[in-house]
Structure 1
Amino acid sequence: MNQPLAGFAPAPVTARMENHGNHMLKVAMQTGNDLFARVGSMVAYEGFVQYEPNPPAVRQIARDWMTGEGAPLMKCTGDGLLYLADYGANVVVINLNGDAISVNATNLLAFDAHLTWGVERVKGLAKFAGQGLWNTKISGQGWVALTSRGKPIVVDCGGGEDETYVDPDALVAWSPNLKVKGKRSFKAQSLIGRGSGEAYQMAFSGQGIVVVQPSEDSTDRLRVRG
């Protein structure tokens, strides 16, 4: 192989999920250890891997996605190496060890199919938004891959007594055990977030983490009630 190109060759497999660079996910596929992945995220694979869009497990909660928290998924099965990406976004790999993570569906790239998951309404925000905020909660023992528009920051909310405030459109994921509430900033010309005249943040407190990307999602996730 040409020497400069050799530097981009895949490294030996050391885990079920791992990064290939900052913008691609490598998954070691095995029969019986299925995977849910975002539709259209497959960029390459080695071996024998099959794909089933909109599998039954996804259709069961499709009605929840009608609320706006949607992540079209496909079921991946087989043996080999699977490579996933999402338009060059950074990939963040998490190994759940019996705990849970609440994820913005637009930032969900892939997760082990045996994990417990579902769409849930975020408590404490209904009075700030007409339908509130919905997130995908994943829990159990297994692997999850998220995307971030740029290198994310992971804030440890248990590091101090102050609350952590995040623009909802820059939010990637957080620990579900955190307490969440909404906050309004009334200003004629607000420079916080992307609101016009009124800005909204989510306040987190307790023991856990919040993952924030350095770019706002293209969808306004939290809207004030009319």
Structure 2
Amino acid sequence: MHPSWHPDPTGRHELRYWDGSIWTDHVANQGVQAMDPLMPQAEPTPQVQETSPETESESEPEQPASYGADPFGASGPVPQTDAPEASELSDTSATPETAASHEGHVTNEALGSVDESPEPQATAYSPAPAAAAPAAGFARDAFAGITGDLIDGRFSEKNGAGVERQNNRMLRVRVTEPFMARQGSMVAYQGDVRFNYQGGGAAKFLKKAFTGEGLSLMRVEGSGDVFLADQGHHVHILNLHDTGISISGTSVLAFSAGLEWNIERVKGGSIATGGLFNTTVRGTGWVAITTDGEPVVLNAGEAATFADTDAVVAWSAHLQTSLRSTMSAGALIGRGSGEALQVTFSGQGFVIVQPSEGAVVPPHSH
């Protein structure tokens, strides 16, 4: 488990900071940071003076209760002591130090007064913002005088190598080898990172020009962390192992530089119909795609599967595809040019469909 804020294992607070090896004393509740030891300190056993057998029962103090048996519990029970004998009440040899040795194991809550024992009992912590723990990776004074959920660690950068989702709508890539990303998708980066325009060659350029399947890429290399996003859309990561996937060009966010990509026509379509060309990536590596909302993944092997050409995001590259036109139902099914088209899928594989058909372009007034 990497250094970060996690739910408090004791249950006493919302969050407790894990430094990578142990739980620390730093805690947080509703964005306010504080200090609270993971385990209350046990009270030291009072020293007992040796006495003769005749006076042992009268002079030996009550042993304190054992604390800390439950590692996540509160202070131990308050031990009960016998009422003093009449001879003890009249004994003038008792000193304040002796009285303190009998009362040192009683908690402040039970006494309702200041504990005067040599080693103070662990008590409830009163939050002190000045002692707040820094968010993971930050210096202690980075957020001096500031509290809140944005800086308590839950939104800190994710640790770990490779590619992973920083959150549902942002991708974080730790650059150890070059990768490809959609131009304009970088929102932040740290380190020595370089971005270079990546052309696809003359053949791909002509395909983009004639099909409208735009995929302008940049090559990212160097060392550091790069954060990518696209209009706040949901981000998903797929790992390919010697296989391929066909993706709508508008849904490609980034992929391994070692993957091969090309613009391919959906079988059954033509350039004249438009919008029926996808970007296919093949090989072994990772690819990050975006969806406008949370998608549904359909199993094309269960039954004949149809998807709107604007809502389908990606599908297994080995699926058989064709186009289906529903001219008579154009007013009810599909949207766009007036000729309703759906992609038909058959075979063993999956189809990813988003709950959106893309941005609606307002009609021109001229």
Specify the TM-score bucket, using the shorter chain as the normaliser.
Answer: 0.7 to 0.9
Within the alignment, does 1:117 sit opposite 2:117 as a pair?
no
Partner of 1:42 in structure 2? 186
What's the secondary structure of 2:326's corresponding residue? strand
Alpha carbons of structure 1 residues 164 and 188: separation in structure 2 relative to 1, 3 Å: closer
Mean CA deviation greater in 184-193 or 103-112: 184-193
Provide the aligned C-alpha RMSD in A: 2.2
What's the secondary structure of 1:61's corresponding residue? helix
CA deviation map 1:100-140 (0-9, x unaligned): 110110111101111111111111223x9535721111011
The 5 Å alignment of 1:28-177 reads 28-30=174-176, 33-53=177-197, 55-57=198-200, 61-67=204-210, 68-126=212-270, 129-130=272-273, 133-158=276-301, 160=302, 162-177=303-318
**In structure 2, distance between residues paired with 1:72 and 1:38:** 6
Report if aligned partners of 2:246, 2:281 keep a CA contact under 8 Å in 1.
yes
Alpha carbons of structure 1 residues 17 and 207: separation in structure 2 relative to 1, 3 Å: same
Segments of 5+ residues of structure 2 without an aligned counterpart are: 1-133, 135-146, 362-366
1:191 Cα deviation (Å)? 2.0
AA aligned to 1:89 is: H
**In structure 1, distance between residues paired with 2:201 and 2:240:** 21
Partner of 1:215 in structure 2? 356
Partner of 1:200 in structure 2? 341
Partner of 1:25 in structure 2? 171
AA aligned to 1:145 is: A
Report if aligned partners of 2:266, 2:322 keep a CA contact under 8 Å in 1.
no
CA deviation map 1:154-201 (0-9, x unaligned): 11112x1x2111000001111111111111223366222214754221
CA deviation map 1:6-37 (0-9, x unaligned): 211122215x221111100011101xx21111
AA aligned to 1:63 is: L
Report if aligned partners of 2:213, 2:275 keep a CA contact under 8 Å in 1.
no
CA deviation map 1:28-69 (0-9, x unaligned): 101xx211111111011121110012x244566222111211
AA aligned to 1:180 is: T
TM-score by length of 1: 0.86
Higher RCO (CA-CA < 8 Å; seq separation 6+): 1
Alpha carbons of structure 1 residues 167 and 129: separation in structure 2 relative to 1, 3 Å: farther
AA aligned to 2:169 is: H
Alpha carbons of structure 1 residues 176 and 114: separation in structure 2 relative to 1, 3 Å: same
- Looking at CA atoms only, which structure, 1 or 2, has the larger radius of gyration? 2
**In structure 1, distance between residues paired with 2:173 and 2:350:** 25
CA deviation map 1:60-98 (0-9, x unaligned): 622211121111111111111111000100011111111
TM-score by length of 2: 0.55
Partner of 1:224 in structure 2? none
Segments of 5+ residues of structure 1 without an aligned counterpart are: 221-226
Identity of aligned residues (%): 43
Mean CA deviation greater in 211-220 or 133-142: 211-220
Report if aligned partners of 2:313, 2:352 keep a CA contact under 8 Å in 1.
yes
AA aligned to 2:167 is: G
